Amino acid sequence: MNTRSIISLVILFGLLCVGPVHAEDPPEKAAQRAAESWMSLWDSGKYVESYEQLAEHTKQNIPERQWFVYWNAVRKPLGKLKSRKLVKAEYIKTLPGLPDQAGATLRYESSFENKASIIETFGMILEKNGTWRVAGYVTNE
């Protein structure tokens, strides 16, 4: 699977995981909390750990080796994170191709050592066990 296929998959599925949804949280907030926890793995180059924390659907469609290639092509060149600010969060009641699962898209304005201004979009899936997980990551590059 090439990088373009991965990006298409990410967009198709609504554009990690980390904990159960809290009843008092709106879904976008719970998705944001999970994504931001996952981001520390992604940003620090822990692509194996970030892969392990991906949505099951993503792992079924993208082999670990391809995730490593994707990280090297998309995230690594950005360098160290300087800032990241959430600018849009959208809950998706039913994901295309996954009608029994909800999702969210989280858009961030970010700055990195090698790219002063970039938009990052994290696609989230609400797993059947109630855990939000990252399904994909794209930038406006």
The pLDDT value given to residue 24: 65
At 98, give phi and psi (nearest 5°): -135, 70
pLDDT reported for residue 69: 95
pLDDT at residue 9 greater than cutoff 50: no
Question: What was the pLDDT predicted at 98?
Answer: 84
- Averaged pLDDT for residues 33-57: 95
Q: Are 37 and 18 in contact (CB under 8 A)?
A: yes
Q: What CA–CA distances, in Å, run from 134 to 14, 37, 83?
A: 10, 10, 20
Helix or strand holding residue 135 (H, E): strand 132-139
pLDDT of residue 103: 95
Residue ranges of E strands in 28-114: 81-92, 103-112
pTM (global) more than 0.85: no
> Residue 74's domain is classified under what CATH number?
3.10.450.100
Range of the domain at 100: 3-139
Indicate the SS3 state at residue 57. Answer: helix
Q: What is the mean pLDDT of residues 44-68?
A: 94
Residue-level pLDDT at 25: 76
Which tokens sit at 26? 């709106």
Q: What is the mean pLDDT of the chain?
A: 86
CA angle, 8 then 16 then 56, to 5°? 65
How many domains, the chain? 1
Tens-digit pLDDT profile for residues 114-131: 999 999 999 999 999 999
7 φ, ψ to 5°?
-60, -45
Residue pLDDT, tens place only, 82-119: 999 999 999 999 888 887 899 999 999 999 999 999 99
